[in-house]
Amino acid sequence: MNGTEIFENDLFIDRRPIITCAGELEVFSLLEDNLSQALPQDSCEWRRSLGRPVRSVHIGANFAPFSPNALPKPNQWDLIRQPLFHIYWTECVDVDIYKTGIKDEIELWLKELITREIPDWLIVVVENYDGKRANKLLPRTTVLDKIRADFAPKQGDRCISVINPGKVESRSADSWRGLVSRVRHLVLVSYARAVARLEDHVRQQRERRNELGWNFLQYFKLQEELAQVLEMLGLYDEALVQYDELDALFSQFVINGHTGDAVNWLTNFQKPLQMWHGLKLGPSHLPDDPSILELRAYIFAKQAHMLLLINKIWEIASRCLPFLHNCTREITLLEVTAPPGAISCWLFLACMEVLQTCEKFNQADQVEAYSLNTAPLWAYASQK
């Protein structure tokens, strides 16, 4: 998926990480399309913490002009919507010009990042290589040498040069591949660091779930952010785990509430049902104040989406009946009232939505598993 998510019905949600650009933007504009296309073409290895296996991921990117106001704030966890990596571009190759202007600009740019404790940056010197001048003596000290000495004496890989890929010479091609590989690697390093922080924060918030003032919906949005980042990286199985955990966590609160250990926020899901729109597998949005059916339908739709992405169509059908039984049980435990026939109507529509989705995406090599799991759904729907 190359770091994007594409839904049906022509609804497109771009979730590629944001890379900001500073310096000579007109120089970068000539390279932007090529860089956007090249980044996700090859995979790179993501080495996880806590002994988890190495995963192969694809990294795409959106580019935006650098703005100090857009830099992430402390405790800002929406990783997909905040700038992740920062690049300064220049085509200055004259050391004197660098000393009188570019150096100060880079210093100010880096200061904005350092004051916010942002270590994820790169400086790129674009060289318009001319074969006719190849035999001329090179300067003793280049602009790239000066930049490394001034700003990255111990991080030489944070300052690189690239020959303009518009040139056809082999040197340009090799130089361009080096830039793409370096940006891809550093963006992944940045993401790995950000995801590790988010995972720790999610874990800490989960451990506080029994404290006064803890709210499930607030926590839900936090863990879903982690799920969306994992999905963007193409780790659909790990994103599915996040939604499975949220599913199980909510069920446990409902059960505990019925046995006398209720929490205040759970009363928000005991409102009488005013609407019972059918389950929709596809683009969905969770309302700010969802009913029990809206929350349950949203979680199941997200689980189904991940299963589609890992080509487990039949598992959507196998999960459907337990999901429907769980919904009716939670409605009973929470003592949610509804007009006569409303729940049965919703259950029937949910069955038909899952059956139609499975029929649409079913594949020849999964016919047996598909039939085994859809037959009980047809029987259940006929009872409603």
Q: Band the pLDDT of 13: cuts 50, 70, 90.
A: low
Least confident interval from 41-55, 122-136, 176-190, 203-217: 122-136
According to the model, what pLDDT value does residue 9 have? Answer: 39
The predicted structure's pLDDT at residue 169? 59
Last residue of a domain, one of 178, 193, 208: 193
Share of the chain above pLDDT 70, in %: 89
Same domain, 163 and 287: no
- The mean of the pLDDT values for the chain is 87
In-domain check, residue 71: yes
- Long-range CB pairs of 202-211 (<8 Å, 24+ gap) are 202/226, 206/249, 209/249
Asked whether residue 218 is domain-assigned, the answer is no
Question: Nearest to residue 303, comparing CAs of 357, 366, 263, 345?
Answer: 357
Q: Are residues 62 and 185 in the same domain?
A: yes
More confident residue, 358 or 325: 325
Q: Is 248 helix (H, G, I), strand (E, B) or coil?
A: helix
**What is the DSSP code string of 15-58?**
-PPEEEEEE-HHHHHTTHHHHHHHGGGS-EEE--STTPPPEEE-
Same domain, 111 and 12: yes
What local confidence, expressed as pLDDT, does residue 12 receive?
43
Same-domain check for residues 170 and 256: no
One domain, residues 186 and 239: no
| pLDDT single digits (tens) 162-190 | 988 765 556 678 889 999 999 999 999 99
Per the structure, the count of domains in the chain is 2
Q: How far apart, in whole angstroms, are the C-alpha atoms of residue 235 and residue 232?
A: 7
pLDDT at residue 7, as a whole number: 41
Average pLDDT over residues 218-229: 95
Q: Is residue 200 in some structural domain?
A: no
Task: State yes or no: pLDDT of 8 exceeds 50.
Answer: no
Asked whether residue 185 falls in the same domain as residue 240, the answer is no
Residue 136: the pLDDT is 53
Q: Is residue 360 part of a domain?
A: yes
Shared domain for 14 and 109, answered yes or no, is yes
Residues 185, 86 share a domain: yes
- The answer to whether position 219 is within a domain reads no
Question: What SS3 state is found at 127?
Answer: strand
Question: Which of 139, 162, 193 corresponds to the end of one domain?
Answer: 193
pLDDT for residue 326: 95
Give 1's pLDDT tier (boundaries 50, 70, 90): very low
The band of 81, judged by pLDDT with boundaries at 50, 70 and 90, is confident
Task: Give SS3 for 268.
Answer: helix
Using 50, 70 and 90 to split pLDDT, how confident is the model at 129?
low
143 falls within a domain: yes
- Can you say how many angstroms the Cα of residue 305 is from the centroid of all Cα atoms in its chain? 14
CA distance 241 to 245: 6
Q: What is the mean pLDDT of residues 92-112?
A: 95
Q: Which two tokens stand for residue 183?
A: 């940006």
CA distance 218 to 7: 25
27/170 same-domain check: yes
245 and 188, same domain (yes or no): no
Range of the domain at 348: 235-382
Query: At residue 310, does pLDDT exceed 80?
Result: yes
Q: Is 230 exposed, middle or buried (0-12, 13-18, 19+ CB in 10 A)?
A: buried
Residues 135 and 281 in one domain: no
pLDDT over 70 (residue 151)? yes
pLDDT tens column, 240-257:
999 999 999 999 999 988
Residue 289 and residue 269 in contact, taking contact as beta carbons nearer than 8 Å: no
What pLDDT shows up at residue 10? Answer: 38
330-360 per-position pLDDT tens digit? 999 999 999 998 999 999 999 999 999 888 8
Residues 209/257, Cβ–Cβ less than 8 Å: no
The answer to whether position 212 is within a domain reads: no
Higher pLDDT, 293 or 75: 293
Give the integer Cα–Cα distance in Å for 77 and 225: 8
Residue 177 resides in a domain? yes
Average pLDDT of the segment spanning 13-34: 88
Asked if pLDDT for residue 322 goes beyond 90, the answer is: yes
- The amino acid at residue 96 is D
In terms of DSSP H, where are the helices of the chain?
Answer: 25-29, 32-38, 95-97, 103-115, 143-151, 170-207, 216-232, 236-258, 292-309, 313-333, 342-361, 367-382
The reply to whether 307 and 255 lie within a common domain is yes
Q: What is the CATH number of the domain that holds 126?
A: 3.40.50
Where among 193, 225, 246 does a domain terminate? 193
Query: pTM for the whole thing?
Result: 0.86
Contacts of 178 (CB under 8 A, 6+ apart): 160, 162
State residue 167's pLDDT score: 58
